């Protein structure tokens, strides 16, 4: 299993295991859990973009939008699955937004690093 797949599995597990109340407050910062959502999806998108961009025949544009769409759809989809669960998980629009922002930011960083790596060759 490659790193991007492992990260995707980790995100799914963390999203679906029974959890505590949403809107985690850390150091007095409301909605701090959204930072975690954004960060996890950013790392995952970074890894996915580099896997997609490394495929022969894939343009950077195709890799970019495929990654953003995949990350966003998974983030939104897992929130809907949480809505159907009765194990202490809850559906939150802000979680979907944080997941999508993370997917976009990670893809952007992935593209930047990929292009810098190509320049260095």
Tens digits of per-residue pLDDT, 22-53?
Answer: 556 667 777 788 999 999 999 999 999 999 99
CA distance 112 to 75: 23
Model pTM score? 0.86
Is residue 47, in this structure, part of any structural domain at all? yes
Nearest to 34 by CA among 82, 79, 97, 80: 97
Domain range holding 65? 3-11+32-116
Domain assignment present for residue 107? The answer is yes
pLDDT in tens, 7-27: 888 888 888 787 665 556 667
**In whole angstroms, what is the distance from residue 29 CA to residue 48 CA?**
30
Instruction: Tell me the sheet residues that pair with 29.
Output: 26
Q: How far is it, in rounded angstroms, from Cα 22 to Cα 117?
A: 39
- Is residue 19 one of the residues assigned to a domain? no
* pLDDT number for residue 14: 83
Q: First and final CA of the chain: distance in angstroms? A: 27
Beta bridge partners of 26: 29
* Count of domains for the chain: 1
């Amino acid at each position: 299993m490659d790193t991007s797949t492992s990260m995707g599995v980790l995100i799914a597990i963390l999203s679906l295991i029974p959890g505590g109340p949403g809107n985690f407050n850390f150091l007095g910062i409301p909605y701090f859990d959204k930072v975690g959502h954004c960060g996890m999806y950013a790392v995952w998108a970074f890894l996915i973009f580099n896997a997609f961009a490394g495929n022969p025949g894939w343009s950077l544009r195709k890799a970019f939008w495929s990654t953003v769409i995949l990350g966003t759809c998974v983030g939104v989809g897992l929130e809907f699955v949480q809505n159907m669960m009765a194990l202490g998980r809850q559906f939150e629009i802000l979680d979907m937004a944080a997941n999508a922002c993370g997917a976009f930011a990670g893809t952007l960083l992935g593209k930047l690093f990929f292009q810098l790596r190509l320049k260095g060759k």
